[in-house]
Amino acid sequence: MPQGSRGDTSGELNRVQSHGGGKPSRGIDELRSQLLDTKTFMDISRNVPLRQRPQKWWNFLSILGGIIGAIIWSLYSSIREGFDAPTALLMIAIPIALVCFRGSIDKLLIPLQDIRRRVPRMVLIGMGIAVPYLTAYILYDVFRINQYPLMHWNLFVGTMLSYAIVREPQLLGDQRQGPSKNSRVLLLILLYFGCITYAIADDCTRDPFNANDCLRTDNYAQFLAGITTAGLAVLVNGPEIVRGLWGGAGSLPGSLPQGPPSPPSEIEESKDEERAEEAAVDTLENPSLDGPPAENPFSPFDDGTRCKERRELENEPA
């Protein structure tokens, strides 16, 4: 990669670095301030290691992934029983909501941190990925929610629980400001989508391209709702998952390595020099008296006289 390209990316990365805290969103401008432009997103994707990418890169990725998932689900759900608009909207709205109101949500998660600190990070990540399947089974088997409402509720409940388990709150700026009115309105909209109900029953094995049918079939319903929600949860929890997998390397997601790595030849030369120095020190501390005087300066006699090196070592006068 050209040096100039690396420098441009590093400078841009420093400008967009963010740890996810801060004040709640105030509109479209606030949302834009939490995202990257497409060019910067692509530059960072090509030039920056995954564990060093900033929060804004993950924000962009989660929303982009939600949009792609919404398109795929829309095509799938429209094959048979009609287009499932609420699910598609939730796939886009949930990542946007977490980006816009991350600071307010982080404040709500503070009471959970004492419990989270007692659990290994890798266990938390595993729980965060598994919990959407658990919520799908509970909603379907315990609360008897099925068909598209199962997907609506599980996207909301499963993703939020996964986020609460995996997320490490990072609060910046004013800590006294509470959730905004916009966040309450968005919460009501998400709950509304989850309350839409249907009442038809059939078998997914007869027609696997009928999404609503599969969401009212035992086992298929839980799996479909669980895997869809788990995919969205991985997107919104991306920074925390990477941070856990790399042992905290992602805690500074905006930095770039300082300078290129040393070539293997230089590393080997450095090791050879260290070994030579260690051997020289060992020779001085433990001199050998073997061999003729011409080959061993520490030989005790040289024509009846102690060697100069031997006298210096023993601090004897000449």
**Is pLDDT above 70 for 209?**
yes
**Is pLDDT above 80 for 189?**
no
Two tokens, residue 227: 């895997």
The better pLDDT of the pair 245, 157 is held by 157
**Is pLDDT above 90 for 245?**
no
Q: What is the pLDDT of residue 288?
A: 53
**Is pLDDT above 70 for 107?**
yes
33 falls in which pLDDT band (50, 70, 90)? confident
In angstroms, the CA 53 to CA 253 distance is 5
Two tokens, residue 282: 């060992």
Average the pLDDT over 181-187 and give the result. 51
Residue with tokens 């006699």: 301
In angstroms, the CA 55 to CA 34 distance is 8
Mean pLDDT for all residues in the chain:
75
30 falls in which pLDDT band (50, 70, 90)? confident
- The pTM assigned to this predicted structure is 0.62
259 falls in which pLDDT band (50, 70, 90)? very low
Q: How far is CA 212 from CA 65, 83, 143, 216, 225, in A?
A: 22, 10, 18, 7, 11
In angstroms, the CA 199 to CA 219 distance is 18
In angstroms, the CA 80 to CA 210 distance is 5
Instruction: Name the most confidently modeled range: 248-252, 269-273, 296-300.
Output: 269-273
The domain segmentation of the chain, as residue ranges, is: 8-251, 268-313
Q: What is the pLDDT of residue 44?
A: 94
Please give, one letter per residue, the 3-state secondary structure of 168-194.
CCCCCCCCCCCCCHHHHHHHHHHHHHH
Q: What is the pLDDT of residue 171?
A: 61
pLDDT over 70, % of the chain: 59
Q: What is the pLDDT of residue 32?
A: 84
The better pLDDT of the pair 118, 255 is held by 118
**Is pLDDT above 50 for 256?**
no
How long a stretch of residues is the chain?
318
**Is pLDDT above 70 for 54?**
yes
In angstroms, the CA 306 to CA 318 distance is 9
